[in-house]
Amino acid sequence: AQSVAQPEDQVNVAEGNPLTVKCTYSVSGNPYLFWYVQYPNRGLQFLLKYITGDNLVKGSYGFEAEFNKSQTSFHLKKPSALVSDSALYFCAVRAFRGGSTLGRLYFGRGTQLTVWP
Amino acid sequence: EPEVTQTPSHQVTQMGQEVILRCVPISNHLYFYWYRQILGQKVEFLVSFYNNEISEKSEIFDDQFSVERPDGSNFTLKIRSTKLEDSAMYFCASTGGGFETQYFGPGTRLLVL
């Protein structure tokens, strides 16, 4: 069974400090991993993804994430947080096995990031 | 930049009524999805649609739900007889291929009274 865990409901950081939003996953087969961000009253906006290759992937707005296969993690990071980064962040996984993708995304519960000035 | 659009943004309905949620996926995309997010809970997959048929559905997607692509642009989710527990934010998503990123619409907030 596929699942995603985001162990922190909330992360609070000061502007200018580095931030990390944690995600661990469980899949049968190789994972495709995604981060989405949701601003109030908005839809889910794609930030970045890991499919294959370099374990460190870079995405929109200065965010990056590191795929760690041994720890089954895909933590979202940013070296210097901005107040405008405050939003709800979702980690998601898709499974790939047997030459086909199973298209559905499995989401974590979301982590509310608050960056204070 | 192309985006997925959804209408209405909000809908209030009485229990037992039928609702149709509408989505316009990105124009050259081929795979379409519906997800829902009950307040305070995680985003959950409902159904995927490709080549004019359902390719996968979750256990949530029972006989009360149906999807349709009535023309070349719209993708709809119908709930035949709404229940209180159908109250949620419903997201439509589309992608150009099975390996690619799913892009989400802004959602329709459905409230069943």
Work out how many domains chain A is built from and give that number: 1
* CATH number of B5-101, picked from 2.60.40.3500, 1.10.645.10, 2.60.40.10, 2.40.40.20: 2.60.40.10
Give me Rg for the CA atoms of chain A: 14
Q: How far apart are CA B43 and CA A44, in angstroms?
A: 10
What residue in B sits closest to A102 (Cα-Cα)? B98
Look up residue A100 and give its two tokens.
């086909």
Contact assignment for B103 to A46 by CB distance below 8 Å: yes
What residue in A sits closest to B38 (Cα-Cα)? A109
Q: How far apart are CA B79 and CA A16, in angstroms?
A: 46
Q: How far apart are CA B100 and CA B82, in angstroms?
A: 33
Average pLDDT over residues A77-102: 84
Domain borders along chain B are: 5-101
Q: How far apart are CA B27 and CA A23, in angstroms?
A: 32
Please report the pLDDT score of residue B98 as a whole number.
61
Average pLDDT over residues B34-50: 92
Q: What is the CATH classification number for the domain harbouring A36?
A: 2.60.40.10
Helix H, strand E, coil C: the string for chain A is CCEEECCCCEEEEECCCCEEECCEEECCCEEEEEEEEECCCCCEEEEEEECCCCCEEECHHHCEEEEECCCCEEEEEECCCCHHHCEEEEEEEEEEECCEEEEEEEECCCEEEEEEC
Determine the residue among A9, A60, A96, A104 to mutate to test chain B binding: the one whose Cβ has the most chain B Cβ atoms within 10 Å.
Answer: A104
Name the phi and psi angles at A47, rounded to 5.
-105, -55
Report residue A99's pLDDT band, with 50, 70 and 90 as the boundaries.
low
Q: Which domain holds residue A40?
A: 3-116
Please report the pLDDT score of residue A94 as a whole number.
87
pLDDT (tens digit per residue) in A37-53? 998 877 899 999 998 88
| Partners of residue B4 in chain A, C-beta under 8 Å | 43
Amino acid at B97: G
| Partners of residue A105 in chain B, C-beta under 8 Å | 33, 35, 43, 45, 102
Please report the pLDDT score of residue B33 as a whole number.
95
